[in-house]
Amino acid sequence: MCGIVGYIGNSDVVEILVNGLNTLKYRGYDSAGVALFDENKIKVYKAVGKLENLKDKLSTVKSEIKNPFMGIGHIRWATHGKANEVNAHPHTSTTSDIVIVHNGIIENFKELREELIKKGCVFKSETDTEVVAHLISEEYKNTKNLKEAVKNALPQLKGAYALCIMSINEPDNIVCVRKNAPLIIGVGENENIIASDIPAIISLTSNIIYLNDDEIAVVKKDSVSIENLDGTIIPCKIVKMFVETDAISKMGYKHYMLKEIHEQPNIVRNLLNGRIIDVNSSVELPEIKISKDTLKNLSKVQIIACGTSLHAGQIGKYLIEDFAGVSVEVEPASEYIYRKNTTDENSLVIAISQSGETADTITAVKQAKGKGAYIVVITNRPDSNITRYADSVLNVNAGIEVSVAATKSYTAQLLTLYLFAIYLAEIKGENLDKLSDLKRELLSIPTKMEEILTTEGDIEKKSEQLSKYKNFVYIGRGVNLPTAMEGALKLKEISYINANAYPAGELKHGPIALLDENMPVVSVLIPGHISYDKTISNCEEAKARNAKLITVTSSNDEKLSKLFDVIIKIPEVSDILSPLLSVIPFQLLAYHISNFLGKDVDQPRNLAKSVTVE
């Protein structure tokens, strides 16, 4: 949610800032801006809409920009105030002596704004951010030093922030700081770069400093110095990172989403590698640092997450209850945090978050930790904020996911939940007879995923036919209900078509009133479980109301072709493992419908990949 880049050095500042923002588009994309320190002036350029609009603007003012030596840039996902040019970052103080970019939310901005107005500050925007520029400017009057001014301003702020700040009086440094929002510094040769996330810096350097909360960094061309609020000097710990250049390239695919869908078989294969060494031996999860005795005696498990990660968690409930026999509650993090829950020191709380930055999930984890619960975090970003509160971190290792709609991180989360559920069952000595077969079948999943991907052309044709509908109902039962929910979510997110998911058995209790020839019903049908026949009956009920029927199924039953208008086949798979496969056709359907309708697949309107506000 909002991306930040800062650069100081002799390279082309505009190019570095714009290229950096380009890699952070997944964090927001409703407006963008840069501030350049050029000819002893701070020049600010902003544009509403996509980053391309800012690029166009910068090219029209090229002659105004001489030789900037440093600059800061921002890409926005609006929280306070509309997405317009005035509200776009960077924001300046009244006299424009201070300029800042900000990611996060200043919760007490209204009070601060009133106080600052009384002091004579003139506000231009509706944002929470602008108060920070004025506040630092006021503090600068006393300190005459940017770092000290920032240090004095910070204790007055409530909320979350990653900030890059420049002062007109300090032409050779950018000051940056973070609290509950990510910020890293890339250390180069005679140049340094600051950013919200790794993709923005990898073309420049692989040396990174991870800034911690309330650490203030003064970044010059050839040095970085860090101290905390009380002035203690913090040694700069430079970490060499593994450069995932493939992750930020489309590798020939039209969209990141399609590339990421196709990466799933290998991600799952790599995750299985070293975890299931022999189907007759226990699953290896050395990252779980919670003692086996504790895990054996858990009273309950709670899973908290948001969005797609929540759907993975809902499947996790089936797995943990089925394999390990422990009762599991699953809840959206945003609900968990505002009710009196029963988490205690015998609870295991599993928080799932692709980004590890989702504010709702982080708040929930902090609360659960405060109640003494054991915390396992399942994330794609093991260096993220949420991992600070974890007793154990399970890295799903899906690689950087660029497309806003989650795909590969979802199947990687699912696989991690399968492994964890089996691990727990083995510790508890539950269902040992069936776990070897399950592990054997898990090993076959990557190849079956590849088989589904070979049918993409067929799914694309079907998507074209289906793209004329304005509404869809998705249904599923048991372990495939969350799959139906995820399928509906994918369609909504990237094509803006109304798609709602229901437990198949609930269709007749209300939603059936919606059905007619304009409302297709999409189902998941996996033989081998009682829910198969029951779901077919629900589809019959929908057919009787003239609904067009679409199914994703592993069944070879020829009778299905009489009932269903569109059948998307997946390889044979047991019901309990089917979510790893049945979601892929749904991802492809959503992708091709969105692409066919000409929507912006990778950056759907109103969404951001990391939602760092509650």
By CB under 6 A, name the binding residues for ligand G6P: 306-309, 353-355, 358, 361, 404, 406, 607, 609-611
> Nearest distance from residue 581's CB to ligand G6P, in Å?
20
When the beta carbons of 192 and 354 are compared against ligand G6P, the nearer one is 354
Residue 184: beta bridge partners? 195, 210
Residue nearest to ligand G6P (CB): 307
Nearest residue (CB) to ligand G6P, 205 versus 407: 407
Strands 3-9 and 70-76, sheet pairing: antiparallel
- In the complex with ligand G6P, the residue whose CB is nearer, 275 or 311, is 311
CA 330 to chain centre: 19
Residue with tokens 């000819």: 39
3-state secondary structure 7-24: EEECCCHHHHHHHHHHHC
Alpha-carbon distance values, 15 to 18, 54, 194, 313, 485 (Å):
5, 12, 15, 41, 41
**DSSP 8-state code for residue 90:** P
Closest CA to 412 of 202, 267, 237, 524: 267
Q: Least separation, in Å, of the C-beta of 313 and ligand G6P? A: 10
DSSP percent split of the chain into helix, strand, coil, nearest 5: 40, 20, 35
CB 442, min distance to ligand G6P, A: 23
Rounded to the nearest angstrom, the gap between the alpha carbon of residue 7 and the centroid of all alpha carbons in its chain is: 25
Task: Give the nearer residue to ligand G6P in terms of CB position, either 18 or 377.
Answer: 377
What single-letter DSSP state applies at residue 391?
A: S
Catalytic residues: 2, 609
The HSE-up count of residue 358 (CA atoms within 13 Å, CB side) is 25
- Computed from CA positions of residues 435, 438, 440, 442, in that sequence, does the dihedral angle turn out positive or negative? negative
Count the Cβ atoms, other than its own, within 10 Å of residue 431.
16
Q: Quote the least distance from Cβ 407 to ligand G6P, whole Å.
A: 10
Residue whose C-alpha is closest to residue 524's, from 465, 448, 583: 583
Cβ closer to ligand G6P: 129 or 308?
Answer: 308
Q: Tell me the CA distances in angstroms from 142 to 152, 153, 158, 172, 434, one per residue in order.
A: 10, 12, 22, 20, 71
In the complex with ligand G6P, the residue whose CB is nearer, 135 or 386, is 386
Which amino acid type is present at position 352?
Answer: I
Question: Are β-strands 207-210 and 184-187 bridged in parallel, bridged antiparallel, or unpaired?
Answer: antiparallel
Exposed e or buried b per residue across 14-40, where buried means at least 16 C-beta atoms within 10 angstroms of its C-beta:
bebbbbbbbbbbbbbbbbbbbbbbbee
To ligand G6P, the closest distance from the beta carbon of 492 in angstroms equals 11
By CB neighbour count within 10 A (0-12 exposed, 13-18 middle, 19+ buried), where does 517 fall? exposed
Q: Which is nearer to ligand G6P, 35 or 404 (CB)?
A: 404
How far does CA 603 lie from the centroid of its chain?
A: 13
Q: How far is the CB of 335 from ligand G6P (least distance, A)?
A: 14
**Closer of 91 and 255 to ligand G6P (Cβ):** 255
Minimum Å gap between C-beta 524 and ligand G6P is 20
Copy the structure tokens of residue 370.
């405060």
For ligand G6P, which is the closer residue by CB, 138 or 197?
A: 197
Looking at the Cβ atoms of 215 and 357, the one nearer to ligand G6P is 357
Give buried/exposed letters for 257-270 (b at 16+ CB in 10 A, else e). bbbbbbbbbebbbb
> How far apart are CB 337 and ligand G6P at their closest, in Å?
14
* Beta bridge pairs of residue 219: 174, 224
Q: Least Å distance between CB 203 and ligand G6P?
A: 24
Give me the least distance between CB of 199 and ligand G6P, in Å please.
Answer: 15
3-state secondary structure of 476: strand
